[in-house]
Structure 1
Amino acid sequence: MNHDASHGVYNDARYDDPRRAGGASDTEGFDAHVAGLPFEVMAQKPITRVPEAATSTAPPAPQASDDAVPFAEPETKPLRGVPAHVGDRPPTYPPHPLGRPSVRDGDPFAPFSPVVLLDGAQIGRLTVRAASVRGDSHNWEGSCRQDAMAVTRIGPPEAELLLLAVADGVGSALYSHVGSYQFSRLAAVYLDREAESIHAALCARDEGELRVLATKAVAGAAAELRSGWARAAQHQPRAYADQDYATTLHVLLIPTDAGIRDRVLFSVGDGGLFVLREGRWEQGDPDSGEGLLDTRTEALPHAYRSVKATVLRTMPGEVLLLGTDGVTNPLTQKDPEFARRLAAAWGGPEAPSLSDFLWQAQTRAKSYDDDRTVICVWEGRG
């Protein structure tokens, strides 16, 4: 839904606030501590001055010559300001956070969920940048970010995999922010237990076996989370229900061994993966024609048997983009300006800095006001 129409215009006077209609002192403790020290510690020997003849014989620091070129004053770059936008005018929502949940709202998780998560890594020739940003509509409402992400490594050194995960809590679910956060992490733990088998199946390009292993891991995570949520609900007025924690999940596994060119994507629900090749965002593997973007509405924890496994092969110089639908939806629209901007920002040989990546990931598009989580991977050439 386009929240611009439902909440009015930013700065309109009607919407100024969219959420309304006796012990010891430190000195005494220190004195007691000093009084208990051995005498040898208290009576330190005086410092002996080193004779000049014994000083270091290192050569003196070089002196600047008359014709030395002075250091140039550092260039002052302008502040980035608000995130850029596509289209004739920016979205109606303000581009910054407004309210946030309170501890007294009764949700122990939401008040402490940050508006922005920023992460990155350099593992061999792989460079990762990751950002999860609260959407404009949630900023306006003062509700918490429902997206989550994870960047980690799993498996032993001989079968190590870089794990990247994004999860998008279903907007109508009461605790979807909890579901997305916990699934993105616990799924990584269960996939780690299967890492050697996953590595072997990936090297064999056995999608059937990969799907079995992924389903086993996701089912294990779902069972553990369900049990914990059900126990917690016994002390709440609301009974446990799967739909309260509904979330999508996408996990990309990349071998850290540069000689292995295959990757695998495990998916439940909408969102997924793009590959930037020669300046264009592609939604599938050109070798197999298999789609990497999912438009299904299935969600965990109840859809743990619906894990989709897709193997793709990439080459150095290509950029992988794993994202929730807050970024994948505008990338697939008929107006290509959003896609062109991100391709220009992320299509170079060097990965941007963390702060630049965050600013670029926040590029705004009217009517796309959901949370946005995006993880990009660059691979340098050997």
Structure 2
Amino acid sequence: MSRQGAQGGGQPRDWWAQLYDPRAPDTGRARASDSLDERYRSVSRTLTDASGAEPGPSGAVAPEPAGVLPMTDPGSVAEVVPDTVLEGTRYGRAALRAASVRGEAARRAGELRTDALLVVRFGAGEDGLLLAAVAAGAGSGPGGHRAAREVCHSVGAAVGRSSARLVADLRADRRSELQPGLHRLTDRAFGRLRAKAAALGLEPGRYTADLRCLLLPADPRCRTRVAFGTGEGGLFRLRGGAWQDIGPPATMLWPPERDSVIGRDPAAGAAAARDGFTPAQPPEPARTEPFRFRSCAADPGDVLLLCGPGLAEPLRAALSPAGQPHAEPTLADRLAARWAPPGGELPGPGAYLDELGRGGEGSDGDRTAVTIWES
């Protein structure tokens, strides 16, 4: 609470404490005593600025919430998407902050947030595995928000079923095992989206999403971090005070042909069973979007930022050597100044959300990100 004013001998007087003091005399014209609610409203009106925003506990004026709530069908209340979601935790030697915020364009139009965010933990102790998934469905049509959530849940379930094997591969840094396994897992998740699109009578491109995932083992001795997915998005690393674009490169290394005839090949059936899929699952057509995979070693002090297109685009634009100089700090500059050691620090959930909420220049889409601080 802020202290304002002075009384007798220069001693400061806490206005908010006085507001809730039942012995404090009323200063209004009415003879009847004011209730606590009436006192609060009176002080709020006094300190409110011309825009109508009310002061927070620190005395700072909080902005008025902007935007229009999406229209909801009474039969689809279960599909309501919150404007904002926020996650925060410590895991192994790392700290995590994650948020998904509805973009200004969607707020003005009263539309749903089409980005999806999933942060889940599998396993216990040093055998644990954390999965962070970011999906963006804005480009796939009216059902994009459903497609984004479904692909996150599908990938999450498959990673959970394979978590023990994935942790072993991460500890041994077996990239030759991780890449095809995660590729197969991702293809099957998108196969489910294509099947859902067919059931809805839609073209596959009208019910899909961009996906970015990050695997983080709990074992403090394991510094391997793996990012994978398909479509648009980004992976950035803040090291030495500067941002690096380390987005997973595209690869056309499709899963072995024997995996496309599940149920006929014993090895393919065993792989499918391990990943949680039945051997009778029919073959799926090849994806048009390339699979993306990146494995990297985390150094103490690194900051990893996994994000959807709404943040990846302005960050890449700020890091590009081409273009006009900026009169004000870019989004990348602001985040580096606040997060990079030695002057930077781990933000609280509210401060993290505030930084993402401001977005980047020229971008008014949804903003979704997962940030890892390595200790």
- With normalisation by structure 2, the TM-score equals 0.67
Q: Tell me how far 1:221 sits from its aligned partner.
A: 2.6
For the pair shown, the structure with the greater C-alpha radius of gyration is: 1
CA contact (8 A) 1:322 1:376 kept: yes
Q: Tell me how far 1:124 sits from its aligned partner.
A: 3.5
1:346 to 339, 346, 352: 339
2:127 is matched by which residue type in structure 1?
A
**1:359–1:257 distance in 2 versus 1, CA, 3 Å:** same
Question: Does 1:281 find its partner at 2:243?
Answer: yes
2:295 to 311, 317, 324: 311
CA contact (8 A) 2:359 2:367 kept: no
Question: Does 1:98 find its partner at 2:65?
Answer: no
Question: Does 1:360 find its partner at 2:355?
Answer: yes
CA contact (8 A) 2:237 2:303 kept: yes
CA contact (8 A) 2:117 2:135 kept: yes
RMSD: 3.2
* Structure 2: stretches of 5+ with no match in the other structure: 1-10, 18-55, 253-284, 319-325
RCO (CA 8 Å, sep 6+): is it higher in 1 or 2?
Answer: 1
**2:372 alignment partner, SS class:** strand
Alignment match, 1:370: 365
- Distance of 1:377 and 1:270 partners within structure 2: 20
CA contact (8 A) 1:202 1:311 kept: no
CA contact (8 A) 2:193 2:207 kept: no
Question: Does 1:263 find its partner at 2:258?
Answer: no
**1:79–1:100 distance in 2 versus 1, CA, 3 Å:** farther
CA contact (8 A) 1:154 1:162 kept: yes
1:344 is matched by which residue type in structure 2?
A
Question: Does 1:321 find its partner at 2:286?
Answer: no
2:166 to 183, 191, 198: 198
**1:361–1:374 distance in 2 versus 1, CA, 3 Å:** same
Q: Tell me how far 1:366 sits from its aligned partner.
A: 4.0
**1:125–1:113 distance in 2 versus 1, CA, 3 Å:** same
Q: Tell me how far 1:156 sits from its aligned partner.
A: 5.4
Question: Does 1:244 find its partner at 2:170?
Answer: no
CA contact (8 A) 1:149 1:165 kept: yes
2:215 is matched by which residue type in structure 1?
L
**1:172–1:226 distance in 2 versus 1, CA, 3 Å:** closer
Q: Tell me how far 1:304 sits from its aligned partner.
A: 8.2
Question: Does 1:79 find its partner at 2:60?
Answer: yes
**1:95–1:323 distance in 2 versus 1, CA, 3 Å:** farther
- Distance of 2:13 and 2:152 partners within structure 1: 47
- Distance of 1:188 and 1:130 partners within structure 2: 16
CA contact (8 A) 1:134 1:372 kept: yes
CA contact (8 A) 1:146 1:171 kept: no
CA contact (8 A) 1:321 1:375 kept: yes
**1:274 alignment partner, SS class:** strand
- Distance of 2:372 and 2:292 partners within structure 1: 21
**1:215–1:364 distance in 2 versus 1, CA, 3 Å:** closer
CA contact (8 A) 1:319 1:377 kept: yes
- Distance of 2:287 and 2:76 partners within structure 1: 25
1:319 is matched by which residue type in structure 2?
V
2:211 is matched by which residue type in structure 1?
L
Aligned length: 282
4+ residue runs over 6 A deviation: 70-75, 106-109
**1:72–1:183 distance in 2 versus 1, CA, 3 Å:** farther
1:181 is matched by which residue type in structure 2?
R
Question: Does 1:114 find its partner at 2:107?
Answer: no
1:124 is matched by which residue type in structure 2?
G
**2:139 alignment partner, SS class:** coil
- With normalisation by structure 1, the TM-score equals 0.65
1:141 is matched by which residue type in structure 2?
A
CA distances 1:141-177 after superposition (whole Å, capped 9, x unpaired): 1110110111111245453211111111133422111
- Distance of 1:214 and 1:314 partners within structure 2: 20
Within a 5 Å distance, the mapping from 1:91-170 to structure 2 comes to 96-103=66-73, 112-155=80-123, 157-170=125-138
